[in-house]
Chains A and B, each alone.
Chain A
Amino acid sequence: MSEQLFKVTIDNITVEVPAGTTILQAARQIGGDVTPPAMCFYTPLKGSGGKCRTCLVEVSKGSEKDPRPMPKLVASCRTTVMDGMEVKSVTSQRVLDARAGVVEFLLINHPLDCPICDQAGECHLQDLSYEHGKGGTRYEFQRRTFKKHDLGEFIQLHMTRCILCYRCVFTADQVTDKRAHGVLDRGDHAEIATYIEKNLANDFIGNVIDVCPVGALTDKTFRFKNRVWFTKPVNAHRDCDKCCGEVTLWMRGDEVFRVTARKDEWGEIKTSEKTGKTGWICNDCRFEKKKASDWTVEGLAPIARHSVIGQGKYPGLQRPSETIERVLDGRKPRLLMDIHTVSEVNKPGIELSEIKGPATGDVFKQ
């Protein structure tokens, strides 16, 4: 039986997709502005989506058979296309208003602590507010805070940044043996936590860091060590008996600062070339293998063009010409003194990527 194809028109662009495709996925095939932002849906996770409401679109024609428009905006990530469906994303003022509303809602209680957040530079909420948000705020109240919960040696939780997308909950359910954390309480005080302080240490639990769209769950072994845009992502692999072993290393020079799974342009973990399944990686690969020699490097990882992480890392770029020699009448700049030849004060032997936790004064005192 040949697969049934449905025609769907999104913002006046028509594509053909297999039956069962969601509006969001059809829009992603088209790409560009037409694609609604999606903060909670995550293709590899069953049951995800529908919660954040950033992906709302207007269905102006239900299908060829039943052309009635849908009365309410629908979550494109959880609505499947019908043959002849017509959808409006950026061409609908209703959608733009609703989207602006959702962005505002997501930000009113967000701490806006990007300057000290490890996710900055690869945060979907940053991108979302940059693309769809406003400069000011109409919120005049104290932002929400939570009692701190410790999730153990690998994962740092900042509940104030969480948008309750439930991705980490689905991940723990579907990828690890046993879920030890979840959403407690309800409403605006719902929080991600373990009921009794528990160490999240299951073999695959590190993947919650990769699926978290914001800086609510970050890698403790990378905490405060570097900004992601100063590191260089390279694809690498190793033989691992637990997972596919296909990762992205985030390096500076020869130092491996961080290991993550490989993600596609939507920030979703890619299918592994080896296993043909979602390329979740194990905690060993993620947290323990922090030497370049642990890995076979394949080459630079592709980075979306709009991302700051791509800054200055790619060949074939036009560089601005050097001006120093010109203003010095052709003389070369001279190194007056290399501090390391006369002083050990900066401890050049310390590899920042290998110390436990963030670098503090204590690291350099000794």
Chain B
Amino acid sequence: MARKLLLEKAHVEGIRYYDVYRREGGYRSVEKALKGMTPDEVTEEVKKSGLRGRGGAGFPAGMKWSFLAKPEGVPRYLVVNADESEPGTFKDRYLMEFLPHLLIEGMILSSYALGANRSYIYIRGEYAWIPDILEQAIAEARHNGWLGKNILGTGYELEIYVQRGAGAYICGEETALLESLEGKRGNPRIKPPFPAVKGLWDCPTVVNNVETIAAVVPIINEGGDEYAKIGVGRSTGTKLMSACGNINKPGVYEIDMTISVEEFIFSDEYCGGIRNGKRLKACIPGGSSVPILPANLLLKTAKGETRYMNYESLSDGGFATGSMLGSGGFIVLDEDQCIVKNTYTLARFYRHESCGQCSPCREGTGWMEKILWNLETGKGKMSDIDLLWDIQSKIEGNTICPLGDAAAWPVAAAIRHFRDEFEWHVLHPDECTRRNYGLAHYADPIYVPATA
């Protein structure tokens, strides 16, 4: 059984509250860091750990921290991205609900490393009950001297504030988040300047995902090198996966990124196989924005090798035959699911969540949704499939923020891997409203040409 670094104590009775959390060894990393390490040493440990951002892009956290501008006399900020609105992703919610003190402990370490005296948690508006949990934990931490002025007598000062969003996916994009946090309309900013130079209130700012910040705690407790020993290659440490869809055991799992996709889906320790004895058809392995893969390419790469649950292996083959680990929202589709309908649902989501600033995303997402609706309801034409392809290619890479790409990729991947199913919808306009295309050949072994 894999080691758990984040969720190890999640099921200890009362771990939500300070006394239990502290009794179980909580906050010892803060003692270690504030009393025995300089801020730069903390950053150095995070660098050594190889920790990559858990919010989706997978950017090395230590490197991001070292880019932070440090002009004299200008405050710096840490902002924790708890907007978690990507369909399929619900791991941060779990962390904050069960282990709020772990996040706060991580924030103290990170703020100390960055030299921030004010830090924010920007939380998704729909998580209406979680700010209370966080604020209670913050109050407990302050009461016990972990927050406020002169923490542990070291002279270091830190306050943490919780800010609720109003229910917009786009406010998870880091610069839109900062705009919203400043009280403005949540439009992504045009970069450069990057937040590391001009972020919140035009001051240097680091934005990190909840899980990224929580992972700093085991890194400091065990040391960056120890943390880096877990996992493989550039996928170090553990990753939370939120698994959902047609599986027997949906939920949040902590994995150490050495297991295969097959094991993750079918073993009883994790998803427990496909529900009702159905067969696996497809999977979106890292949240709604990443490319969907048919069963055969999901379990094996195009080279015929086993695919593993880590950054490198999931993206093996690029977008042609691979996908991404993304934010870890693992959505499984069985043989009864319709890929056209699934793609339509995602397109509708992105149309609804576009901020509307830039023309390709504002206009293109709505256009794709309408065409997909026609295809799904048997009113589509063959030429619509190529048109969809063309539209997504004109959005991708040409927008201000990655939401445009995130809207384009699922459509591109669905057409790339499931073109027959789209064509079947066009050729069988009546039948497609009554039944689904089914598994077809999507789980058949892939032919791998022999190499000399």
Measured CB to CB, the residues of A under 8 A from B are 49-54, 56, 72-73, 75, 78, 97-98, 101-102, 104-106, 108-109, 138-139, 141, 163-164, 166, 182-183, 185-190
CA distance A141 to B387 in the complex (A): 14
Q: Does B345 contact A (CB under 8 A)?
A: no
CA distance A138 to B386 in the complex (A): 12
CA distance A97 to B394 in the complex (A): 8
Q: Known contacts being A109-B363, A141-B370, is A188 close to B394, with CB within 8 Å? A: no
| Chain A, Cβ-Cβ closest to B400 | A50
Task: List chain B residues, Cβ under 8 A from A189.
Answer: 356
| Chain A, Cβ-Cβ closest to B404 | A53
Name the one of A52, A72, A73, A108 contacting B367, with C-beta atoms under 8 angstroms: A108
Q: Known contacts being A78-B190, A187-B353, A187-B365, is A52 close to B358, with CB within 8 Å? A: yes
Contact B367 A102 (CB under 8 A): no
| Chain B, Cβ-Cβ closest to A105 | B363
Contact A187 B360 (CB under 8 A): no
Task: List chain A residues, Cβ under 8 A from B358.
Answer: 50-53
Rank and list the top 9 A-B pairs by shortest CB-CB distance, nearest first: A101-B394, A190-B356, A50-B190, A105-B363, A187-B354, A188-B366, A105-B359, A187-B356, A72-B397
Q: Does B293 contact A (CB under 8 A)?
A: no
A-B contact pairs, 22 of them (CB 8 A): A50-B358, A51-B359, A52-B358, A56-B398, A98-B394, A102-B360, A102-B394, A105-B364, A105-B367, A109-B366, A141-B367, A164-B357, A164-B362, A182-B185, A186-B170, A186-B354, A186-B356, A187-B351, A187-B353, A187-B356, A188-B354, A190-B362
CA distance A164 to B394 in the complex (A): 19
Task: List chain A residues, Cβ under 8 A from B364.
Answer: 105
Contact A187 B400 (CB under 8 A): no
Task: List chain B residues, Cβ under 8 A from A187.
Answer: 351-356, 362, 365-366
Interface residues of B in 333-357 (CB under 8 A from A): 351-357
Name the one of A49, A101, A141 contacting B398, with C-beta atoms under 8 angstroms: A101
CA distance A235 to B367 in the complex (A): 44
Dominant SS at the B interface?
helix
Task: List chain A residues, Cβ under 8 A from B399.
Answer: 53
Q: Does B168 contact A (CB under 8 A)?
A: yes
CA distance A163 to B355 in the complex (A): 14
Contact B400 A51 (CB under 8 A): yes
| Chain A, Cβ-Cβ closest to B381 | A140
CA distance A51 to B352 in the complex (A): 18
CA distance A188 to B368 in the complex (A): 12
Given contacts A97-B394, A186-B168, 10 further A-B contacts (CB under 8 A): A50-B358, A56-B398, A101-B360, A101-B394, A104-B394, A164-B357, A185-B356, A187-B355, A187-B362, A187-B365
Measured CB to CB, the residues of B under 8 A from A are 168, 170, 185, 190, 351-360, 362-367, 370, 387, 394-395, 397-400
CA distance A54 to B363 in the complex (A): 14
Contacts between the two chains (Cβ within 8 Å), count: 88
A324 CB → nearest B CB, Å: 50
CA distance A102 to B391 in the complex (A): 10
| Chain B, Cβ-Cβ closest to A100 | B394
B313 CB → nearest A CB, Å: 24
CA distance A50 to B187 in the complex (A): 12
Q: Known contacts being A97-B394, A183-B185, A188-B351, is A52 close to B359, with CB within 8 Å? A: yes
Contact B357 A51 (CB under 8 A): yes
Contact A186 B355 (CB under 8 A): yes
CA distance A75 to B397 in the complex (A): 11
Contact B356 A164 (CB under 8 A): yes
CA distance A50 to B400 in the complex (A): 7
CA distance A19 to B352 in the complex (A): 40
| Chain B, Cβ-Cβ closest to A166 | B357
CA distance A248 to B211 in the complex (A): 59
Contact A105 B190 (CB under 8 A): no
Task: List chain B residues, Cβ under 8 A from A185.
Answer: 356
| Chain A, Cβ-Cβ closest to B387 | A138
CA distance A188 to B397 in the complex (A): 19
Contact B362 A98 (CB under 8 A): no
Task: List chain B residues, Cβ under 8 A from A138.
Answer: 387
| Chain A, Cβ-Cβ closest to B405 | A72
Contact A106 B190 (CB under 8 A): no
Q: Known contacts being A51-B357, A105-B359, is A139 close to B367, with CB within 8 Å? A: yes
Contact B359 A102 (CB under 8 A): yes
Contact A188 B356 (CB under 8 A): yes
CA distance A163 to B363 in the complex (A): 10
Task: List chain A residues, Cβ under 8 A from B394.
Answer: 97-98, 101-102, 104-105
B298 CB → nearest A CB, Å: 28
B328 CB → nearest A CB, Å: 26
Task: List chain A residues, Cβ under 8 A from B353.
Answer: 186-187
Contact B360 A188 (CB under 8 A): no
Task: List chain B residues, Cβ under 8 A from A98.
Answer: 394, 398
CA distance A274 to B360 in the complex (A): 41
| Chain A, Cβ-Cβ closest to B363 | A105
